[in-house]
Amino acid sequence: MFGRIGRFFTAIFNAILGEAEGQIPVSMLEESVREMLESLRALREAAATTIAFETRAKREFDAQNQRTRTLERQAEEALKQGNEKLARRALQLQLEAKGIRERAESVYKNAKLRAENARTRLKVEEERVQAKIRKLGELKAINEMNQAQKRMQEITDEYNIDGAVSVFDKTAGRIEEDADKLNAMDQIAVSEGEELDRQLSAISQKSEVDSALDALKAKLSGATTETPAAGPKEKEKISSAFDEK
């Protein structure tokens, strides 16, 4: 009894341990995917910061372009009005604005290049992570299928379904064999009964013939017995005649 209890708890422990071991690879993959998603989130934040800097640099570059064109237009208007001093001042400010615009353009180009690199890297990482997520889904489905198959095998081994099926087939075959034997015996019995009926009928016919033969013999025997009986009477008659004389 204690041995059976020990085997029972050992089986439970092994089943739990086996199930845990079967889930370890999937758990490790899920943890790896979570780490990738966390890294992807940080990469998105960095890419967003880079893209935002690109936006600000472009806005500053556009503003310096606009200021340069505005100062050039103001210098032209001042010359048209004959105010050379004001035109000179506008051109001086325009030169300073062009220098600022060149620096803004350089910053914007660098920011744009970095932003494009960030977008490209982010897209690549997103595609790679999505591929890993799809792969994880496939592996989880395969793992679940394997676990189900393993469970089916365990149930088959535990309840000995194959053995029960074999016993069922053997028993069914034996029952069918017995049924065939009974059917054959019934057919034999019917044949034997018909033969016995035929023999009885033949015996009955023979008995009738024997009875008729016996009756005929008796009749003939009776006739033979009555014919000699007339002799003595006549003899008596003759004797009586002589006696009278």
- Please write the tens of the pLDDT for every residue from 156-171: 776 666 666 677 777 7
Find the mean pLDDT for residues 184-213: 65
Examine the pLDDT at 212 and tell me if it is beyond 70.
no
Examine the pLDDT at 234 and tell me if it is beyond 80.
no
- What is the pLDDT confidence band of residue 17, given thresholds at 50, 70 and 90? very low
CB atoms closer than 10 angstroms to residue 108: 22
Give the span between the Cα atoms of 54 and 48, in whole angstroms: 10
CATH assignment of 2-159?
A: 1.10.287
pLDDT computed for residue 41 by the predictor: 92
Q: At what angle do helices 84-159 and 2-80 cross, to 10 degrees?
A: 170
Tell me which of 56 and 191 has the higher pLDDT. Answer: 56
- Please write the tens of the pLDDT for every residue from 109-144: 999 999 999 999 999 999 999 998 888 888 888 888
pLDDT computed for residue 235 by the predictor: 47
pLDDT computed for residue 13 by the predictor: 46
- Please write the tens of the pLDDT for every residue from 62-110: 999 999 999 989 988 988 888 888 888 888 998 999 999 999 999 999 9
Tell me which of 236 and 163 has the higher pLDDT. Answer: 163
pLDDT computed for residue 135 by the predictor: 87
- Please write the tens of the pLDDT for every residue from 55-67: 999 999 999 999 9
